[in-house]
Amino acid sequence: MTTVIDVQHLTKQYKDKTALDDVSLTIEKDTIYGLLGRNGAGKTTLMSILTAQNFATSGQAHLFGEAPYENADVLSRICFVRESQRYPDDATATHAFKAARLFFRNWDQELADRLIDDFQLPMKTTIKKLSRGQLSAVGVIIGLASRAEITFFDEPYLGLDAVARQIFYDRLLQDYAEHPRTIILSSHLIDEVASLIEKVIVIDNGRILLHEDTDALRGRASTVIGDAAKIEAWADGREVLHRESLGRVASVTVLGHLSDADRAAIAAADLDLAPVSLQQLIVRLTQNAAHPESTTSTMAGEAR
Which spans of this chain sit near another protein (rule: CB under 8 A)?
31-32, 169-170, 173-174, 176-178, 180, 195-198, 214-216, 218-219, 222, 275-278
> From the CB of 167, what's the least distance to another protein, in Å?
12
> From the CB of 116, what's the least distance to another protein, in Å?
21
CB of 262 within 8 A of CB of 219?
A: no
CB of 230 within 8 A of CB of 271?
A: yes
Quick one: 62 or 114, whose CB is closer to another protein? 114
> From the CB of 90, what's the least distance to another protein, in Å?
39
Q: How many helices (H) and strands (E) does the chain have?
A: 12, 13
Quick one: 231 or 281, whose CB is closer to another protein? 281
Beta-carbon neighbour count of residue 96 at 10 Å? 19
Q: Which residues of 35-62 are buried (b: 16+ CB within 10 A; e: fewer)?
A: bbbbeebbbbbbbbbbbbeeebeebebb
Quick one: 187 or 214, whose CB is closer to another protein? 214
Quick one: 10 or 36, whose CB is closer to another protein? 36
**How far, in Å, CA of 77 to CA of 83, rounded?**
20
Sign of the CA dihedral with 98 first, then 99, 104, and 105 last = positive
Quick one: 221 or 231, whose CB is closer to another protein? 221
> From the CB of 76, what's the least distance to another protein, in Å?
26
> From the CB of 53, what's the least distance to another protein, in Å?
28
> From the CB of 191, what's the least distance to another protein, in Å?
9
Single out the residue of 219, 239, 225 nearest to residue 281, CA to CA.
Answer: 219
> From the CB of 260, what's the least distance to another protein, in Å?
9
**How far, in Å, CA of 301 to CA of 304, rounded?**
6
CB of 10 within 8 A of CB of 46?
A: yes
> From the CB of 59, what's the least distance to another protein, in Å?
29
Quick one: 110 or 260, whose CB is closer to another protein? 260
Single out the residue of 35, 37, 57, 38 nearest to residue 47, CA to CA.
Answer: 35
User: Between β-strands 182-186 and 78-81, what pairing exists: parallel, antiparallel or unpaired?
Assistant: unpaired
C-alpha Rg value of the chain to the nearest Å: 22
Quick one: 267 or 290, whose CB is closer to another protein? 267
Quick one: 73 or 170, whose CB is closer to another protein? 170
**How far, in Å, CA of 227 to CA of 105, rounded?**
62
